[in-house]
Structure 1
Amino acid sequence: MTASIRHTFAATCITLGLLASAPLTQAAESGTTVVSAAAQMSELSTFYRLVQQAGLSSALEAPNVTVFAPTDEAFKAVPAATMDKLSKDPELLKSVLSFHVLPGNLKASAIDGSAQPTSLQGGKLNISKAGDFVTVEDALVIKADIQAGNSVIHEIDRVLMPAVKK
């Protein structure tokens, strides 16, 4: 390989690397909110749609929130009857989605052992870390520390259901 070809190959690799990381960098620099970041992530399309439906957009546009966002696959695993009930009851939907939100910016690296912070919904979330694995309730964080302005999103593999108040 000639020096010219090696140089071009190296420049192409660097450019591709920069392009691949651009969305997250731009999100953090441009003041993107959790809502606008979720709108850009295809694996969070159901979460984004339900946040809109529940009227939670303004709560998630506040600075310094942590969102444990279920992926589309997580929502597909919820029984159809439960999803139907959520779609017909906006207050229940709002309660379920706000159970996924914490005030403050909690990065995975800041979790040591276990904690029980209070969610926006008012319920306690059981968050633990073992090695590199972070869990919240019975869900696994599958993609951590997605910056959205000065807030953070963690993608999770299950939809969290708050305890039913009697």
Structure 2
Amino acid sequence: MLNQNPLKAPITKSQFKKLACAVGIAGVTTLISVPVLAKFYPPMALFQPSAHRSYPYRNSEKSIADTLSQNTKFANLYHELKKAGLLDTLKQGNYTIFAPTNEAFNALPKKDFERYSQPQNRAKVLKYHLVTSNITGKDQDLNGKLVTTVEGDQIKITVDPEGTVKLNNAIGKHPSIKASNGVIIEVDKVLMPPGL
């Protein structure tokens, strides 16, 4: 009786299909997980999303206001900007907006939300999330940088050793969204101006 070497046996169609399926699943999983690997983005990429154009869903030909209106993650922010009369502002000019998610608004403590809900405070807080023009600089220049907001007070940018970018105490999420008139940077907290 002849001993056949299993390593020299031809691959059957069934085995080939299983192999192709496994390779395909591995490839799709890798592609889906790439945006999750945010810590591998250089900190500067948060403020210059055009450097990472390989994510077309993160680039919009529409204004900041129109881009926010189409992203359910920012439904609360869009509603609040509308109540404050700031949507027209975000359809023109050039801005960087630190955009709190729905979860960030929902996490506001009751006393902070009550203070925020007063019309003069709502506009003040939302303007504190806006910076005229795009923020630029080299990676090493970002750490400790202060940027002046439309509201008039400053936000401090810090970059920790792992590359996490913080705006005061809120974390900026990669990748940011490039709109026709600026940049939308997702943040996990509502930023409160000093003294509010």
TM-score by length of structure 1 reads: 0.77
**Residues 58 and 176 in structure 2, CA contact (< 8 A), matched pair in contact too:** no
Identity %: 27
Find the counterpart in structure 1 of residue 150 from structure 2.
120
Question: What SS does structure 2 have at the residue aligned with 1:125?
Answer: strand
Asked whether 1:24 is paired with 2:58, we answer: yes
Q: Structure 2 CA distance, aligned partners of 1:109 and 1:134? A: 13
Report Cα offsets for 1:14-69 as digits up to 9, x if no partner: xx99xxx55434x1xx3x11111111111111111000011111222223200101
Asked whether 1:103 is paired with 2:132, we answer: yes
* RMSD, matched Cα: 2.7
The residue type equivalent to 1:103 in the other structure is T
Find the counterpart in structure 1 of residue 3 from structure 2.
none
Q: Structure 1 CA distance, aligned partners of 2:72 and 2:133? A: 25
Q: Structure 2 CA distance, aligned partners of 1:35 and 1:113? A: 29
Asked whether 1:65 is paired with 2:95, we answer: yes
Which of 72, 75, 91 is matched with 2:120 structurally? 91
Find the counterpart in structure 2 of residue 44 from structure 1.
74
Pair 62,45 (structure 1): closer, same or farther in 2 beyond 3 Å = same
TM-score by length of structure 2 reads: 0.66
Report Cα offsets for 1:89-127 as digits up to 9, x if no partner: 211100001001101112697663221111000001111
Question: What SS does structure 2 have at the residue aligned with 1:116?
Answer: strand
Q: Can you give the 5+ residue segments of structure 2 that lack an aligned partner in the other structure?
A: 1-15, 33-54
Asked whether 1:141 is paired with 2:172, we answer: yes
Q: Structure 1 CA distance, aligned partners of 2:70 and 2:136? A: 21
Pair 114,62 (structure 1): closer, same or farther in 2 beyond 3 Å = farther
Question: What SS does structure 1 have at the residue aligned with 2:147?
Answer: coil
Pair 44,143 (structure 1): closer, same or farther in 2 beyond 3 Å = farther
For these two proteins, the number of residue pairs brought into alignment is 149
Asked whether 1:80 is paired with 2:114, we answer: no
Find the counterpart in structure 2 of residue 56 from structure 1.
86
Report Cα offsets for 1:103-162 as digits up to 9, x if no partner: 111269766322111100000111122342111011011234211113001111111111
